[in-house]
Structure 1
Amino acid sequence: MSTLRVMWQAVLLQLALSRRGPEHALILLIAPMQTTTMLALTLTAHRPDVVANAVLAPGLIGLWVAALDYAGRIVPEDRWAGRFSPMVAAPVPLAPVVAGRVAMVALVGAAAFAESWLVAALGFGRVLAIADPALFAVAVAATCLATVGTATLLSAVLAVSRARDVLQNSLGYPFYILGGILVPVAALPGWLHPLSRVVFLSWSAELLRGAVRGDAHGRPGSVAAILGLGAAAMAAGLWLTRRYVNRSRREGTVEFA
């Protein structure tokens, strides 16, 4: 069975599981509240120039939360539900299965972009016009792909970590800052700029804002950076997942031994 077919079957598996327990879809309830808060602060401060930031930020946060929250729970939940052993014993590698399931969750997180736009339009009468719709669509697609790759890596890292909950809880707000989600990277101290450039969200945030304003610079370079960082994270995640499965088999710890 090809890797793409394995990932597609994993997407269908996750879709079936989500119908029974769609906990990760809670982000769709949080995104409108975040948009309301950010827009209220922006308009109260009489800063119409940053309305785009207030509308785009909840979408990027939704993607990151969906990936981080679910990636950290996929292996433990599979163990408790008795799914991990059959998956490890199956004649297909586990890593593409994890990637496919995370991709399904990332699609749910991407819906936060549409929610934020609707809240701004219907709740505040602020219709966010997109100057370059084609570039915006490419940026969202590239960001979703990079999110899947990063979530696959996070899943492997959190699976092997002994402090999974602590690590998972600490990877939220620092990445909102480094990723330029809450404020542009240019507004951060200069010593943080190199760190921001290894976080794909920083490229995504700049590209999305540029697409909205119509002044995006370095379009091919930004898209390439997003996809490159996502591909590197995916490769590292697949490699680490294989090592984790092999170690579990070798040490007899596939279950809770």
Structure 2
Amino acid sequence: MSTLRAMWHAALLQVALTRRDPEHALILLIAPMQTTTMLALTVTEHRTDAVANAVLAPGLIGLWVAALDYAGRIVPEDRWAGRFSPMVAAPVPLGPVVAGRVAMVVLVGAAAFAESWLVAALGFGRVLTVADPALFVLAVAVTCLATVGTATLLSAVLTVSRARDVLQNSLGYPFYILGGILVPVAVLPGWLHPFSHVVFLSWSAELLRDAVHGNAHGWPRSVAAILGLGAAAMAAGLWLTGRYVDQARRNGTVGFA
């Protein structure tokens, strides 16, 4: 079975699991509340220039939360449900299976962008007009791809870590800041900029804002950076997942949590 076909079947498996246990779609309930809070602040302070950021931020947060919240639970949940042993015994590497399942969760998280736009339009009368729709769609697409790659790496890191819950709880707000989600990277202290540049969210947030305002002159560089960082994370995640499975086989711990 090819890698893409394995990922497709893994995505279908995730659809079936989500239908039985839709907790992974809870981000769709959180995004409207986040949009309401951010927009209320911008309207109260009469910051019309910050409306775009207030609408885009919940969408990016939704993607990150969907990836981070679910990524670290794939293997532990599979062990508890008895799915891990058959997956390891299958002739398909576990890495693409994890990536395919994460991709479906990320796709659900991407719906937060549409929710934020609707909340702004219907709840506050602020219709966010996108100056460059084609570039905006491209930015969302490459951001989703990079999120899948990063989530695959997070899944492997959190699986092998003994402090999974601590890492999950601590990888939220620091990345909202470094990723330029809450505020643009340009207003952060200069010594933080190099760290922001290795977080794909910083490129995504800037590209999305530029697409909204219609001044994305350097968009090829941003797209390349997003895809490059996502691909690097995916490669590292697949490698680390393979190492984890090999170690579990050698130690005879495939069937144990």
> What amino acid does structure 1 have at the position aligned with 2:41?
L
| TM-score, normalisation: structure 2 | 0.99
**Which residue does the alignment assign to 2:143?**
143
Question: Map of 1:212-251 to 2, 5 A cutoff?
Answer: 212-251=212-251
| Corresponding position of 1:124 | 124
Q: Name the counterpart of 2:69.
A: 69
Determine if the alignment matches structure 1 residue 17 to structure 2 residue 9. no
For residues 76-122 of structure 1, the C-alpha deviation after alignment (integer angstroms, 9 at most, x for no partner) is 00010000000001111100000000000000000000000000000
1:28 corresponds to which residue?
Answer: 28
Distance in 2 separating the partners of 1:70 and 1:84? 16
* Structure 1 position 174 matched with structure 2 position 135: no
Would you say how many aligned residue pairs link Structure 1 and Structure 2?
257
Q: How far 1:49 sits from its partner (Å)?
A: 0.4
Q: Specify the SS of the correspondent of 2:33.
A: helix
Other-structure match for 1:105:
105
Mark the runs of 5 or more structure 1 residues left unpaired by the alignment: none
SS state at 1:215 partner: coil
Task: Using the TM superposition, give the Cα deviation of residue 216 of structure 1 relative to its aligned residue in structure 2, in angstroms.
Answer: 1.3
The whole-number CA distance in structure 1 between the counterparts of 2:212 and 2:218 is: 15
Take 2:222 and 2:94, find their aligned partners in 1: how far apart are those partners? 31
Partners of 2:241 and 2:155 lie apart in 1 by 8
- Does 2:225 correspond to 1:209? no
Q: CA deviation at 1:22?
A: 1.1
What residue in structure 1 maps to residue 95 of structure 2? 95
Q: Distance in 2 between matches of 1:217 and 1:189?
A: 24
Which whole-Å CA distance do the structure 2 matches of 1:68 and 1:254 have between them? 24
The alpha carbon displacement at 1:60 in A equals 0.0
Other-structure match for 2:158? 158
Q: CA separation in 2, counterparts of 1:63 and 1:218? A: 24
Matches within 5 A, 1:173-192: 173-192=173-192
Give distance in 2, aligned partners of 1:24 and 1:175: 20
In the TM superposition, residue 238 of structure 1 has moved relative to its aligned partner by 0.2
Q: Output the amino acid matched with 1:162.
A: R
CA distance in 1, matches of 2:35, 2:76: 32
- Cα shift at 1:217: 2.8
Counterpart Cα distance in 1 of 2:71 and 2:22: 14
The amino acid across from 2:228 in the alignment is: G
Q: For the residues of structure 1 that align with 2:125 and 2:254, how far apart are their CA atoms?
A: 54
Aligned-residue CA RMSD (Å): 0.6
Give per-residue Cα distances to partners, 1:143-168, cap 9 Å, x unaligned: 00000000000000000001000011
| Structure 2 residues without counterparts, runs of 5 or longer | none
Per the alignment, residue 200 of structure 1 pairs with 200
1:160 and 1:137 map into 2 onto residues whose CA distance is 35
Structure 2 Cα separation of the partners of residues 71 and 238 of structure 1: 13
- Tell me the alpha carbon deviations over residues 122-145 of structure 1, each in whole angstroms, 9 at most, x when there is no partner: 000000000000000000000000
Point out 4+ residue stretches in structure 1 off by more than 4 angstroms: none
Q: Secondary structure at the match of 1:92?
A: coil
